[in-house]
Structure 1
Amino acid sequence: MNWKLDEAQQKLPEVIDAITSEPQLIFKQDKLVAAIVEPHLFQEFLAWHQQQKVSSVADAFAELRQLCVEENYILETPARCNDRHIPFAEE
């Protein structure tokens, strides 16, 4: 069911009781500002959301740096060579 924010505030117990049948959507000036759902549905969402998080390359390097610190290991980075041929840079 859809509720206006003021109405939902005044009838909060009724809104909470209604979540057993369907999520309760709360609007402020025709904009969805909140959704009230059953706790188990929210827990399922949190679990799904956690699974969807994808690590970036930056995250992998941050983890690698942390492991190096913990193991007292130094990653040696070779010096850059500027004499390499870069074909796509030619005009």
Structure 2
Amino acid sequence: RHTSTKPEQVQDFTPTPMTLASVMYYTGKDPYTGKKVFVSRTIDEKRMQKNFFFYYKQEYRNDLIKALMKTGRRDLIAKLGLRK
């Protein structure tokens, strides 16, 4: 929200063999630290993650508010300008 960048489209992640990104995608771990990293695997997880790129669009507003409340991040609702 700190920038004026508003993407018009995003692309689903396609793991490229022998890259750190593909290692993290398949293992769900950071290869350097071994710590768990979140990986969107289901259609719903991917859709919700995509919606955050388009926080400025009215049609995603209610879903984003619900997701932020569910994850305990009510502080981001105002920061993203989701409440009027």
Q: TM-score range by the shorter chain?
A: under 0.3
Q: Which has the higher strand share?
A: 1
TM-score normalised by structure 2 residue count: 0.24
TM-score normalised over the length of structure 1: 0.23
Structure having greater relative contact order (Cα 8 Å, sep ≥ 6): 2
Structure 1 or 2, whichever has the larger Rg, is: 1
